[in-house]
Homo-oligomer: A and B are copies of this chain.
Amino acid sequence: MDALTQYLEGNREQFLEDLKKALRIPSVSTQPAHREDVRRCAQHVADDLKAVGMTRVEVVPTAGHPVVYAEWLGAPGKPTALLYGHYDVQPPEPLELWTTPPFEPTLRDGKLYARGACDDKGQVYMHLSALKAHMKVNGRLPLNLKVVIEGEEEAGSDNLEKFLRERRKQLDADVIVVSDTSMLAADQPALCYGLRGILYTQIEVTGPAHDLHSGEFGGAVTNPANALAVIIAALRDGDGRVTVPGMYDRVRALTPQEREGFRALPFDEKAFIHETGAPVAFGEKGYSTLERIWARPTCDVNGMWSGYIGEGSKTVLPSFAAAKVSMRLVPDQDFAELFPRFEAYVKKLASPGVTVVVKNLHGAPPFLTEPDHPMLQAAVRALARSWQKPPALIREGGSIPVMATFQETHGLPCILMGFGLVDDNVHAPNEKFSLTSFHGGTRSIAYLYEELAKGA
């Protein structure tokens, strides 16, 4: 066993104690009553970063909660990693559902229970532990490191983009490292190399200038709710493909290796669909459920409304109908390019007798780091060393908003290496972090910094 690994094994209890101290601070970013706790937590994290040997440690005020910044640039010629995490947590309510209090970290059955145990203080403190190990064993880090730990992730990261833009140059790096995702199973590490983006629109259909009596006028004018249904129905064909012209032009096809890799994953489709309560899986023809979620675009209604929606019957021919319709986008789709095409197509689908407005409510780019990118391969090696098995290379179907921001401000390859488990109760009562995740993750991260240093 090398000295680094030995140090990591010998200091498990200390690492856990360090984490527990941070968990005792109720840094709930969305609750004004905790504003001072959030500030105190930022200072606590900054102090811990200083204690492990990071330099230029700052608690940077923003219009909201502060960002903690630190760096260590003592490895000239070596690559520079930019670590992102967050020290704020979700509200703990409902409190009565917690077995032990959310801000009194408690060990039970090899799991540490507390709000933030996994999301994201637990994962941030794995990095601090790994850094401490390098510093103690070697007196230095194997590469250059910049650290950004924000305090508003659970509140929408409203002020992060400004911070990243203002410090664009200072934060320049070769790779971004984020530990805020999950493993595939307790003994199966995973690396997420792709996320979907989104184009979120609102379709508004207006027919008559005011609601009409459906008896006195029904049949003579176009009903905007019927017209909206015609539009939405036409957005996909019978095979589950989106019919917007050009929708698939930039969709990057899965490689045979990716499809083979997904197929080999221990994914229980039956259990997955059962958990949704839907009677059967259904989606784009020719793709598996994982492929549909991870690598194919969608077109889903998120909300829809028109006319009378109370109890019983009201004979109204509504003046207005609207739907929120969003498309999950995959690499290399571009939400800005797609919106005008979507808008033109929806307007073309409009029945005579209605006017249609399409609003662009929100867009986020998809994200992909090539699975064979040297930085990602460094992470593959680190995880394989730590867990004695290669990590699963996965994607996720959602967006991580902060990744979209990093994409826009820095556009770097990114390692999403997280150690959560599906039953960690993130955002719910009894949040926990398993000690095997915590210690295995710390070891993985210590190796990651070594491997990244080699791999550049």
Contact = CB atoms under 8 A, between A and B. Distances in A.
A242 to B, nearest CB: 10
A216 B303 contact: no
Interface string A304-338: 11111110111111110101101010000000000
A232 B305 CA distance: 14
A301 B225 contact: yes
Contacts of A293: 216-220
A302 interface: yes
Contacts of A223: 300-301
Contacts of A273: 220-221
Interface stretch (A73-81, A205-213, A431-439): A205-213
Contact of A276 (B221, B236, B289, B352): B221
A317 B300 contact: yes
B313 A200 contact: yes
A123 interface: no
Given A219-B397, A328-B218, A396-B215, A277 B313 contact: no
Contacts of A278: 207-209, 221-222, 353
A412 B271 CA distance: 62
Interface string A228-268: 11111111100010000000000000000000000000000
Interface residues of A, number: 84
A355 B253 CA distance: 33
Contacts of A216: 293, 396-398
B312 A282 contact: no
Contacts of A232: 225-226, 229-230, 233
Contact of A208 (B277, B352, B361): B277
A280 interface: yes
A312 B219 contact: no
B200 A315 contact: yes
A398 B215 contact: yes
Contacts of A397: 215-219
Contacts of A280: 352-353
Contacts of A284: 219
A296 interface: yes
A104 B97 CA distance: 64
Given A214-B326, A220-B281, A304-B321, A233 B236 contact: no
A289 B220 contact: yes
Contacts of A312: 361-362
A208 B233 CA distance: 19
A315 B281 contact: no
28 contacts: A200-B313, A207-B278, A209-B276, A214-B326, A214-B328, A215-B398, A218-B397, A219-B240, A219-B296, A221-B273, A221-B278, A222-B278, A225-B232, A225-B300, A225-B301, A225-B302, A226-B235, A228-B304, A229-B229, A229-B230, A229-B301, A230-B233, A279-B355, A282-B351, A302-B308, A302-B318, A304-B306, A304-B309
